[in-house]
Structure 1
Amino acid sequence: MNILMALSQIEVTGAEVYATTVGDVLTERGHKVFYVSDTLTKPHRGAFFKLRFNKRSIPRRFWHVGYMVYLIKKHRIQLVHAHSRASSWSCYVACKLTGTPMITTVHGRQPVHASRKKFHALGDRALAVCEAVRNQLVSGLGVQPELIAIGRNGIDTNHYQPVPVPDNDKPVVSIIGRLSGPKGELCYRLLDQCLDLNRYRVQIASGSQVPERFERFKGKADFLGYVHDVPGLMAQSDLVIGAGRVAMEAILMQRPVFAVGEAETVGLVTPDNIDAAMASNFGDIGPTDLNIDFATLPAQITAALDTRFDSSALASTVKSAYDLQAVTTELEAHYQSVLVHRRRREVPIIMYHRFIKNESEKGIHGTYLHVNMLEKHFKLLKRLGYETLTFADLTDKGMASRLDAGKKYIIITVDDGYKDNYELLFPLLKKYGFKAVIYAVTGETFNRWDVEKPDNPEKAVELMTPAQIKEMADSGLVEFGGHTLTHPKLDQLGREQQRAEIAENKAQLEQLLGHKLTSFAYPFGIHNDDSKQLAKELGYPFAVATNSGPLAMHEDLWQIRRIAIFPRTDVFGLWRKIKGNYVFRKNK
């Protein structure tokens, strides 16, 4: 995907750290990430475009919108991710003009006024960095709850490892954060009212220029400026004072953290208050700004320096909630949902069964297609520029890769594993260079499940032999998936019967092919909760149904929709089904 991160800032902020940190992981996963902002200080992978969002006159705002439209069109941006109020307004208008999906991460408390209530400018989805932000968006601005999700900061937890307690001659207290705005006011009052600068060695790490009013503290406290090695600074600290990412990173290093932010005091973070601390982003977000009783802080800070406890459980909690890879995966899911539902398009997954070459081979149940029509289907796919994917491809490249800019993907699936798949489908796959996924029944030699129907029996049709399955798989053009031993209606079986059908079929195919299977198809598309749970438990990353499941395939990997192809599906019918919006039109 082509993603544009938009920020408005004149110095390093937590939003910049968030955007560049997850942006680099997205880049590693194959996305193209671009940045637009007033400034960008942190190292990053991806092009940066300078735009002075903080200049907010009416003419400037028109220029911002125009430039955003230019960037979106020039770089084929598929989604804009805004990270601040100033940038989100311009992004919102530009995205409306270009039809581009938009997400906004809300990093802090929002101003509440009439125009903001009427014009949220958050786009298709808002990601609140903590519960307090979400609550304020709902109660203060009237944002619909379904528009908001929690999207926590992502931290490279491997970068922040536990360190031994430092052997300092006197306690070292480190304050990390900006010296401007509310954080600057907080730092000033900590130095002025709360910290004994003779008793403690106080050091302040900030990317801000030191304001004039802080001059009186020079010589008593160390102003370090911008610090590249923040873990090294935390390692030598007896107490870290901060909020947001600062608190999380220090906790991961198992350094004592006194959480105080722009809104409230959490105090020393312990296992007893970690949930409340996370909900307020460690004191940064509350019902009001700077709602802090500074008179009580000296005693609290002294107590924090004297308190000792096992902080490994605390670090484990933070690692679980803020792990960078997990946070980025969740962010990718939001990107996919917004893109798919906004465009009302999804990669089509079409489903065939049997193929015939003459009229005498027709069946009763309508699960066949003449090979001549199949070739016409393939010619259309080739002419329209479609590339075929398998579920193994999605495992290797990630689900979001199906939405790559400028690509037209389709997944061809074939159920049951009939002999004609080898005789008729396989040569056409070779001819057109297409790949397919075949779901094979292994406990039968013919379609007994359809033949032995007293009220509507089908003619008997042979299934592929193990040798034919192996040859197709070895070609690299066919991925085989599980389809049970005997093709039962799974919802009519008990859990253990289902397990036997799914597990033994999987084991037989994996032994034949020499590798793990990637996907499973429910026979007849019928399943229940046990079926889905067993597919997960038995190691299938994906399971496909037929006409059920979310419209966006990544939203339930064990109930993925497919589009059935019938004997009367001609070239025009196929075109209608593969445009990408077919399942959306069917499910209005």
Structure 2
Amino acid sequence: MNILMALSQLEVTGAEVYAVEIGEKLIDRGHNLYFVSDTLTKKNRGKYIPLAFNKRNLFQRLDQIIKLIKIIKQNKIDVVHAHSRASAWSAEIACRLTKTPFITTVHGMQHISKHRKRKQPIGCGYAVCENIQRDLIETFDVDPAKIKVLRNGINLTKFEISKPPKNQKKVISIIGRLSGPKADITYNLLTNSIDLKKYKINIIGGKDIPERFNKFKDRVNFTGYIDNVYEFMANSDLIIGAGRVAMESLLMGRPTLAIGEAKEIGIIDMDTVSKALASNFGDVGDRTPHDFDWNFIRSEIDRGVELKQTPPEVTDLIGENFNIDKIVDALEKTYQREWVRVNKYEIPVIMYHRVIKNIDTESGKHGTYVTTDQFRDHMTILKEGGYIPITFEDLSQIPIYQRFEKKYIILTFDDGYIDNYTYAFPILKEFGFKAVIYLVSDRTYNKWDVDLTDEKTFMMMVLPMLEEMRDSDLIEFGGHTLSHPRLSELSDDEMKEEIFKDKENTEKKLNIRLNSFAYPYGNLDDRAKKLVSDAGYPYGVATDSGSYCLSDDLFEIRRIGIFPTITNFGYKRKIHGNYNFIKIKREKKMQRDVVSG
């Protein structure tokens, strides 16, 4: 995908570090990254396009929107991800006008102005901590469904636990910019809470030293922005900072005092870490005024410099919350879901059961079939339409950013009837098309239908047929339970037996690995989805449940049923890629009608 990161800052910020680091990970995964911002300090492999978002009068805003539209069109941008309100205002409008998916990450409390509408440009939004999420909902009336918590991602491989330094004079490093509220925090720390004679002090950050700090120059080491900040961290007895500074310090195992623009947390341990996470380590509070307790901070500093390391359980918790690979996984799914939503297109997953030749002698009472003539027509429509049938194994090998470059489609067959071999397979071979067949491994005929509904007996495929299909490289097999029960009606043990034993049977019989599972009748619950995952399946397919976006829930993938009453025109509608959007919209309307009726 072509992804545009929009920032606005005049010096390096945590938002810039976050955007660049996830950008580098996205580039590693094959995406193309573009950055627009007033400045961009951090080195990266993306393309940087200067854009002065901090110029905010009406005419400047219009100019930004026009330039963004041009950038989006020229670079064929698939999704815009904004990381500041200044960039988000212009980016949201540009995205609306170009029909481009718009995502935001909110890194701090949003300013309230009497002269501006309270509506926030969120799109599909993430907050880096719980306090921001709560404030957006309570103060700006943001729909809770549109703002979730997704923390700043950190590349954990960059960090390892450092040995406690052996400094004769304890070293304290305060890390953060020397402008705005953070400068006030640093000034008050030096004035009210730190014994400058007792400790050696490093102030790391800030382009220039503000005049009021000049009186500290002979007692404090002002480094400015430096590249070897982690060396300073490793050699410090105590790190003081907020946001990303605190996270990285804790990942190195250094004792850390969290204090930010909003509040002081104190030394981070298991008693304070939850409060620290919710406030982004002191940077985000609430709307009530807060008076810093500088005496408490002084006592915490004196306590912190005597600690050897951060408790290991705290470091582990930070790693779990800020693992950049997990963050980028979530973002990739979001980018894809929003692309699918805006473009109203997703890879169709089609569901067949039987293919028959003679309706009078081969059809059953349920109508879960198509004729050979219909099936040939369907395959002809796919070929003439440029569709490429793939399997779930193929899908797993296609990067997200390439998923919509071709007209992929997945053809599935449930149960494993003998007519799949007799009639469907020759037609698939003729067209060179792939398909996925879900086998009921412990039945030789449709016993579940015969016993329950007095259906005719239809035989299942036998081993030589399955082996021939397997060896054709056109057919992928999937699991469909031992006996075709309604899974949600089973006990935990019964359900596990149906799913696990079925997979074992088919894999052993055909010497293959199964990639997907189909829930009989489309009947499932959370237990079934978990067991399918636990059994080692990467995918689970349903029938009339699941999201319009395939990757939203890989264990409840919605399928589109094909039956004998469907005309060729109807088939073309169902395979178009937007069918599930139409169907889900219709389902929601019917639900509303039932409630209101």
Tell me the TM-score normalized by structure 1.
Answer: 0.93
Could you report, residue by residue, the CA deviation over 1:197-236 in whole angstroms, capped at 9, with x for unpaired residues?
3322211222523334434333422222322233322111
Q: How many Å separate the matches in 2 of 1:439 and 1:55? A: 59
Q: Which residue of 2 aligns with 1:386?
A: 387
After superposition, the Cα gap between the structure-2 partners of 1:470 and 1:67, relative to the gap in structure 1 and judged at 3 Å, is farther
- 2:470 is aligned to 473
> Using a 3 Å threshold, how does the CA distance of structure 1 residues 291 and 23 change in structure 2: closer, same or farther?
farther
Residue 550 of structure 2 is aligned to residue 553 of structure 1: yes
Checking the alignment, whether the CA contact within 8 Å between 1:112 and 1:140 is kept in structure 2 is no
State the alpha-carbon separation in 1 of the partners of residues 551 and 311 from structure 2.
37
Q: Which moved more, 1:58-67 or 1:24-33?
A: 24-33
CA distance in 2, matches of 1:43, 1:304: 33
CA distance 1:60–1:498, change in 2 (3 Å): same
Partner of 1:159: 158
Identify which range, 501-510 or 111-120, moves more after superposition.
111-120
Q: Secondary structure of the equivalent of 1:500?
A: helix
CA-to-aligned-CA distance 1:158-180 (integer Å, 9 cap, x gap): 21111110111211111211122
The whole-number CA distance in structure 1 between the counterparts of 2:308 and 2:471 is 61
**Residue number in structure 2 paired with 1:330:** 330
Q: What secondary structure sits across from 1:587 in the alignment?
A: helix
Output aligned runs, 1:36-75, within 5 Å: 36-75=36-75
Q: Contact 2:438–2:479 (CA<8 Å) still a contact in 1?
A: yes
Alignment partner, residue 562 of structure 1: 559
What residue in structure 2 maps to residue 255 of structure 1?
254
| CA drift at 1:285 | 0.7
Q: Residues of 2 paired with 1:330 and 1:230: CA distance? A: 29
**Aligned match of 2:378:** 377
Q: Which residue does 2:29 correspond to in 1?
A: 29
Q: What is the identity, as a one-letter code, of the residue corresponding to 1:514?
A: N
Take 1:138 and 1:493, find their aligned partners in 2: how far apart are those partners? Answer: 41
Does the Cα contact within 8 Å between 1:117 and 1:142 map onto a contact in 2? no
Percentage of pairs with the same residue: 45
Partner of 1:412: helix, strand, or coil? Answer: strand
Per-residue CA deviation, residues 455-494 of structure 1 (Å, 9 max, x unaligned), is 5422x33322223323333443322110112223334443
- Specify the code of the residue in structure 2 equivalent to 1:274: V
Q: Which residue of 2 aligns with 1:438?
A: 437
Q: Residue 577 of structure 2 aligns to which amino acid in structure 1?
A: G
Q: State the Cα deviation string for residues 47-73 of structure 1 (Å, max 9, x = none).
A: 222211112232221111011111222
SS at match of 2:458: coil
Q: 2:107 & 2:25 partners in 1: Cα distance?
A: 20
Aligned to 1:101: 101
Shift of 1:358: 4.4
Q: 1:254 to 1:355 in 2, by over 3 A?
A: same
- 2:588 maps to what in 1? none
Q: For residues 376 and 283 of structure 1, what CA distance do their matches in structure 2 show?
A: 64
549-558 or 270-279: which moved more? 549-558
**Offset, 1:148:** 1.2
Give me the whole-angstrom Cα distance separating, in 2, the residues matched to 1:55 and 1:406.
Answer: 38
Q: How does 1:459-498 map to 2 (within 5 A)?
A: 460-498=457-495
How many Å separate the matches in 2 of 1:274 and 1:525? 43
1:122 counterpart residue number: 122
- Aligned pair count reads 583
Q: How does 1:162-311 map to 2 (within 5 A)?
A: 162-206=161-205, 208-288=207-287, 291-307=291-307, 311=311
CA distance 1:218–1:147, change in 2 (3 Å):
same
Decide whether aligned partners of structure 1 residues 186 and 474 sit closer, same or farther in structure 2, where only a CA change above 3 A counts. Answer: farther
Distance 1:290 1:212, change over 3 A: farther
Amino acid of the residue matched to residue 63 of structure 2? W
In structure 2, what is the Cα distance between the partners aligned to 1:464 and 1:116? 68
The one of 522, 525, 531 equivalent to 2:522 is 525
Q: Secondary structure at the match of 2:184?
A: helix
Which residue type is aligned with residue 177 of structure 1? G
287 and 499 in structure 1: CA distance in 2 versus 1, 3 angstrom threshold? closer
Aligned to 1:317: 317
28-37 or 491-500, larger mean C-alpha shift: 491-500
Post-superposition offset of 1:115? 4.8
Tell me the CA shift for residue 35 of structure 1. Answer: 1.5
Q: 1:439 to 1:261 in 2, by over 3 A?
A: same
Q: CA RMSD in A?
A: 2.4
1:382 is displaced (CA, Å) by: 3.0
Residue matched to 1:139: 138
Distance 1:571 1:34, change over 3 A: farther
Q: Cα offset for 1:431?
A: 4.1
1:140-189 Cα deviation digits (max 9, x unpaired): 22222222111111111221111110111211111211122222232233
Normalising by structure 2, we get a TM-score of 0.91
1:306 partner SS = coil
Q: Where does residue 365 of structure 1 map in the other structure?
A: 366
Q: Distance in 2 between matches of 1:541 and 1:388?
A: 19
Separation in 2, partners of 1:429, 1:178: 64
* Distance (Å, rounded) in 2 between the aligned partners of 1:408 and 1:35: 30
Question: Residue 412 of structure 2: SS of its match in structure 1?
Answer: strand
2: CA distance, partners of 1:494 / 1:141: 46
Distance 1:389 1:20, change over 3 A: farther
| In structure 1, C-alpha distance between the alignment counterparts of 2:310 and 2:225, rounded to whole Å | 31
Q: Quickly say closer, same or farther: Cα 1:375–1:222, change in 2 above 3 A.
A: farther
Q: Using the alignment, how far apart are the partners of 1:545 and 1:155 within structure 2?
A: 36
Q: Are the structure 2 counterparts of residues 110 and 247 from structure 1 closer, same or farther at C-alpha, using a change threshold of 3 Å?
A: same
Contact kept, 8 Å, 1:182 with 1:290, in 2: the verdict is: no
Tell me the residue number matched to 2:591. Answer: none
Paired with 1:290 and 1:230, the residues of 2 have a C-alpha distance of 30
* Amino acid in structure 1 at the alignment position of 2:128: V
Q: Distance in 2 between matches of 1:297 and 1:492?
A: 58
Aligned AA (1:422): Y
Offset, 1:132: 1.1
Name the CA shift for 1:342/1:115 in 2 (closer, same or farther; >3 Å): farther
CA distance in 1 between counterparts of 2:208 and 2:511 reads 62
Select 1:580's aligned residue among 568, 577, 580: 577
User: Which whole-Å CA distance do the structure 2 matches of 1:316 and 1:64 have between them?
Assistant: 42
Q: Once structures 1 and 2 are overlaid, which stretch shifts more, 138-147 or 265-274?
A: 138-147
Deviations 1:109-129 (Å, cap 9, x if unpaired)?
Answer: 111124544331222x22111
Moved more, 207-216 or 430-439: 207-216
Cα distance in 1, alignment partners of residues 198 and 580 from structure 2: 68
Gaps of 5+ in 2: 586-597
SS at structure 2 position matched to 1:103: strand
How do 1:70-81 residues align onto structure 2 when only pairs under 5 Å count? 70-81=70-81
CA gap 1:407/1:50 in 2 versus in 1, 3 angstroms: farther
C-alpha spacing 1:480/1:260, structure 2 compared with 1 (3 Å) = same
> Secondary structure of the equivalent of 1:579?
coil
Tell me if structure 2 keeps the 8 A contact 1:440–1:483: yes
Residue 521 to residue 200, structure 1, CA distance change in 2 (3 Å): same
Q: Report if the CA contact (8 A) 1:129-1:152 is conserved.
A: yes
User: After alignment, is 24-33 or 319-328 more displaced?
Assistant: 24-33
Amino acid corresponding to residue 266 of structure 2 in structure 1: G
CA drift at 1:452: 4.1
